[in-house]
Amino acid sequence: MPEAIGKHQLKSSFKPTQTIRPLYTGGKVAISPDENLLITTIGDSIEVTDLQNGNKVLHLSGDTELITTFAITPDGNYIVTSSRSLVVKIWDFKTGQIKKSFKAHEAPIIIMDIDPTSSLVATGSADSTVKVWDIEGGFCTHNFRGHGGIISALKFHLKNNQWTLISGADDCNIRVWDLQDRKCVAVLKSHVSIIRGLDMSNDGRFLISGSRDKVVNIWDFDKKTLLKTFPIFETIETLGVLQPHTTINNMDEDFEGELFYTGGDKGIIRIWDIQTGKLIQTQEPEKNTKHIISDIMFVNIQIS
């Protein structure tokens, strides 16, 4: 018997073949514009991971205070972060160097959005204000007041060379701000709970809003009027319009409309027709699991 044991002697030292490092502790997650990198929050820092091989590409060290939100510019040159220290940092996304750092609000920033030209970043705070910042210069270009609660959703929109910023808050209202005239041009009232998602149709005709009141509203953006309301039957935490090139499994090839998605407290991903409000597709959570969907990203890549 001892001889048999000796033939299968256990190793006394081990060398790891692969190390799985921590890369997410909650909060926002994003995909780089080229859809190759995953950006996550890990405590007070930002971790950037290669989606193909799982390797760390970049680590942006924080200031010991938890990251509250971040955004990456569409051109992929900068990432903007905010933390509970109330400091906003603008990082060079390629080198990891801080380009600008400044205090932005009197309370933590909850939400950010960056305009399509990568020139401006909008910040929405728990101090009820919305501010717009020049990314290259690091200075404030607009300071909007009017909401009566925490800013919870932001969306830039450009149509016919006219810049607008749309904001939602826990006062249940949506405000439309004219960036050229620096004023609020509309207050959209219909929801009865905090606004959790705002997006524009690809043709710029419709504004889609979602709230924890379990409904989605479709607005005529030019007229600033409510076109239709339809129930989602769950608390909405995120929504967005799908880009025309997005591939949807089992989708009718002849479909020519626009689609948007919703996710919420039931853990269900739903895809809807903007024009009709018809439910097109549903992805249920795995059996015996219960979770809330806080964000959704559609990425047209294959993970090896």
Residues 140-158 have pLDDT tens digits of 999 999 999 999 999 999 9
Over residues 59-89, the pLDDT tens digits come to 999 999 999 999 999 999 999 999 999 999 9
Whether the model pTM is above 0.95: no
Q: Is 278 helix (H, G, I), strand (E, B) or coil?
A: coil
- H/E stretch holding 5 reads helix 2-7
* Amino acid 23: pLDDT: 84
* Amino acid 251: pLDDT: 67
21-151 against 190-246+256-304: fold identical: yes
Tell me the CATH architecture of domain 190-246+256-304.
Answer: 7 Propeller (2.130)
DSSP type of residue 241: E
- Looking at domain 21-151, its CATH class is mainly beta
* Amino acid 288: pLDDT: 80
Furthest-apart CA pair in the chain: how many Å? 89
8 Å CB contact between 76 and 65: no
Q: Which residues of the chain have pLDDT under 70?
A: 1-20, 247, 250-255, 300-304
* Amino acid 289: pLDDT: 79
Long-range contact set of residues 186-195: C-beta below 8 Å, sequence gap at least 24: 186/224, 187/146, 188/217, 188/219, 188/224, 188/226, 190/217, 190/226, 190/229, 191/215, 191/217, 194/149, 194/150, 194/152, 194/168, 194/169, 194/170, 195/152, 195/153, 195/168, 195/169, 195/170
* Amino acid 9: pLDDT: 58
Q: Please state the domain extents for the chain.
A: 21-151, 190-246+256-304
Q: Which tokens in the block code for residue 250?
A: 């089992």
